[in-house]
């Protein structure tokens, strides 16, 4: 078991490393100049006197004068310090000159060591391009809302989903069961963004009657950033009720159906017949024998629900104007704020791999037959 877990951890680290490289390459492929974007925050780019000097200083500060990666395959005549040129336009012009007016060339492997942009970016989030604030501070503030929203939605989803699954398994009328399952899957078929918009329109305004204005309006502003995270949650927790309801409603069909099928399958097992022969009541057999055995397959679904809830929170946070990781990622992509995008995506990827690793460990613990 230990060897298998170590292999999975190694595979997870390899996958995270590949993801980080892909994000880095995407950040280099987008249009725009990050140095100019940063200068635009606090420097007048029309003032030509200090622009070139300030550009060179900031480029070095952002490590953009270094090579891209640990190594490179390049022609013999290609300059090693091309990234140290004054501007992005100069770099592109130099590349075009070397590749257009030359004949065949033999590539050479150049080792740059740890002094490269990828390595510096990997271990130094730096400042946001959009507002100049520390990236770690922005992510820390946003993570509180996302973690709270994801955890509460998962807890309530499984609490009500398992309860509905128990109810469905106890109903003898197949027509009633089919009707209830159809209702649940009908809600599940509604796209999350549409369901969120419907609930937002009906339950946050007086358009359809005063009795429908139950929940607060969208948004969590103004937020006193000086308050600790638990005080902010206590102040604005009521505004997270409707977003949580949307995520819970979307998950009920899958969880309740899976629970019902597991219970129906467990009732046919031999240990249930043995328990009944010993004189246990139906209630004791259900809660002491059937239900614990039926919940084992839910372990995988619980851990897989974590990354699904994180991805679902992206849409929810945008619609309900929640300052979480999803909205931060969305705005950062629109603003080409790659110093923020990179760590946010890596955090989501880490949570995803960690959840699947925990699922594997728990599954092997409760079922030793899995090697």
Last residue of a domain, one of 122, 143, 178: 122
Quick one: 157 and 299 in the same domain?
Answer: yes
Q: What is residue 82's three-state secondary structure?
A: helix
Quick one: 255 and 319 in the same domain?
Answer: yes
Unique residue bearing structure tokens 């604030």: 133
Quick one: 294 and 169 in the same domain?
Answer: yes
Quick one: 302 and 178 in the same domain?
Answer: yes
CA-atom Rg of the chain in angstroms: 27
Is 209 contained in some domain? yes
Q: Looking at residue 217, what is its pLDDT? A: 66
CB distance 251 to 305 below 8 Å: yes
Burial of 47 (0-12, 13-18, 19+ CB in 10 A): exposed
Q: Looking at residue 340, what is its pLDDT? A: 87
Is 242 contained in some domain? yes
Is 152 contained in some domain? yes
Number of structural domains in the chain:
2
CB distance 27 to 341 below 8 Å: yes
Last residue of a domain, one of 122, 146, 177: 122
Last residue of a domain, one of 96, 122, 148: 122
Quick one: 66 and 181 in the same domain?
Answer: no
Report residues of the chain scoring pLDDT below 70: 1, 41-49, 75-106, 125, 209-210, 216-236, 366-371
Quick one: 146 and 113 in the same domain?
Answer: no
Is 8 contained in some domain? no
Quick one: 108 and 168 in the same domain?
Answer: no
Is 24 contained in some domain? no
Q: CA 50 to CA 30: how far, in whole Å?
A: 27
Is 302 contained in some domain? yes
Is 6 contained in some domain? no
Enclosing H/E stretch for 72: strand 71-75
Quick one: 149 and 281 in the same domain?
Answer: yes
Quick one: 219 and 250 in the same domain?
Answer: yes
C-alpha atoms less than 13 angstroms from C-alpha of 293 in its C-beta half-sphere: 17
Quick one: 282 and 172 in the same domain?
Answer: yes
CATH number of the domain bearing residue 166: 1.10.3720.10
Is 9 contained in some domain? no
Quick one: 81 and 141 in the same domain?
Answer: no
Alpha helices in the chain (DSSP H): 2-29, 34-42, 48-61, 88-100, 117-122, 135-170, 174-189, 192-203, 229-236, 241-266, 270-277, 282-285, 291-294, 298-319, 325-334, 338-366
Q: CA 146 to CA 139: how far, in whole Å?
A: 10
Full residue range of the structural domain in which residue 349 is found: 135-366
Quick one: 258 and 140 in the same domain?
Answer: yes
Summarised one tens digit per residue, pLDDT across range 79-126 is 666 555 555 556 666 556 655 555 556 677 778 888 888 888 777 767
């Amino acid at each position: 078991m230990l060897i298998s877990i170590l292999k999975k951890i190694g595979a997870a680290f390899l996958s995270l490393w590949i993801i980080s490289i892909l994000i880095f390459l995407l950040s280099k492929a987008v249009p725009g100049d990050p140095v100019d974007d940063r200068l635009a925050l606090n420097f007048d780019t029309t003032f030509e006197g200090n622009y070139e000097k300030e550009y060179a200083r900031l480029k070095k500060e952002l490590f953009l004068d270094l090579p891209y990666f640990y190594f490179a395959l390049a022609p013999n005549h290609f300059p090693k310090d091309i990234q140290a040129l004054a501007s992005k336009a100069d770099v592109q012009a130099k590349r075009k000159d070397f590749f257009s007016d030359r004949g065949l060339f033999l590539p050479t492997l150049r080792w740059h060591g740890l002094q490269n942009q990828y390595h510096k970016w990997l271990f130094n989030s730096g400042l946001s391009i959009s507002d100049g604030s520390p990236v770690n501070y922005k992510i820390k503030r946003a993570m509180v809302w996302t973690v709270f929203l994801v955890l509460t939605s998962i807890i309530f989803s499984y609490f009500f989903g398992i309860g509905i699954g128990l109810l469905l398994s106890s109903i003898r009328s197949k027509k009633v069961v089919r009707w209830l399952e159809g209702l649940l899957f009908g809600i599940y078929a509604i796209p999350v963004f549409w369901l969120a918009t419907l609930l937002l329109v009906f339950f946050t305004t007086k358009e359809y009657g005063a009795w429908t204005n139950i929940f607060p309006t969208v948004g969590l502003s103004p937020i006193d950033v000086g308050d600790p995270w638990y005080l902010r949650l206590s102040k604005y927790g009521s505004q997270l009720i409707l977003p949580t309801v949307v995520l819970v409603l979307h998950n009920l069909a899958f969880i309740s159906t899976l629970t019902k099928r597991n219970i129906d399958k467990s009732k046919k097992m031999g240990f249930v017949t043995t328990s009944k022969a010993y004189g246990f009541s139906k209630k004791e057999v259900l809660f002491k024998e059937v239900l614990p055995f039926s919940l084992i397959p839910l372990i995988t679904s619980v851990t897989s629900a974590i990354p699904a809830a994180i991805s679902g929170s992206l849409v929810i946070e945008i619609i309900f104007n929640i300052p979480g990781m999803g909205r931060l990622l969305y705005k950062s992509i629109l603003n080409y704020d790659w110093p923020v995008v990179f760590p946010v995506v890596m955090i989501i990827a880490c949570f995803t791999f960690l959840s699947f690793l925990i699922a594997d460990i728990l599954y092997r613990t409760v079922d030793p037959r899995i090697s």
